[in-house]
Amino acid sequence: MLNTNLKHVESREEIEELLKDNANVMICCGRMGSMCVPVYAIMEKIGPKYPHVEMRDVDFDISVASFIKNLPECSLFRGLPFTIYFKNSKVVKATTSIQNEEQIVSILNDIFVD
């Protein structure tokens, strides 16, 4: 399990329910490494400003991460974390590697208009 203050996704059923029950979902799949931790921290910081977006993390090394790893949008990704943005259960954006707050906020503002 990741050592973050985000809600963790730990099963395929949780991902499916999360996507079914929420129009706007951001999932960051990674480890507690130097490229991932800043993204988790940004999500923790900005989460309250985006109550209409469900933000979660997934440990890259557990079986449920295969759901993220096997998405076509992630097929060429080589760096962690994989950050996936879903709108109405469909992938609308996917990024790899470290992102800064400005980049994340820009994506959220572009695709998850309240």
Q: What is the pTM of this model?
A: 0.96
User: Which domains, from first to last, does the chain contain?
Assistant: 7-111 (3.40.30.10)
Share of the chain above pLDDT 70, in %: 99
Which three-class secondary structure state does DSSP give residue 7? strand
Task: Determine the Cα–Cα distance for residues 30 and 27; give it in Å rounded to an integer.
Answer: 10
Q: What percent of the chain has pLDDT over 90?
A: 97
Cβ atoms of residues 27 and 58 within 8 Å:
yes
Concatenated DSSP letters of 38-99? HHHHHHHHHGGG-TTSEEEEEETTSTTHHHHHTSGGGTT--SSPEEEEEETTEEEEEEES--
pLDDT tens per residue, range 16-68: 999 999 999 999 999 999 999 999 999 999 999 999 999 999 999 999 999 99
Distances (CA, A) of 49 to 52, 60, 74, 109: 9, 26, 27, 11
pLDDT in tens, 55-112: 999 999 999 999 999 999 999 999 999 999 999 999 999 999 999 999 999 999 999 9
* Total length of the chain: 114
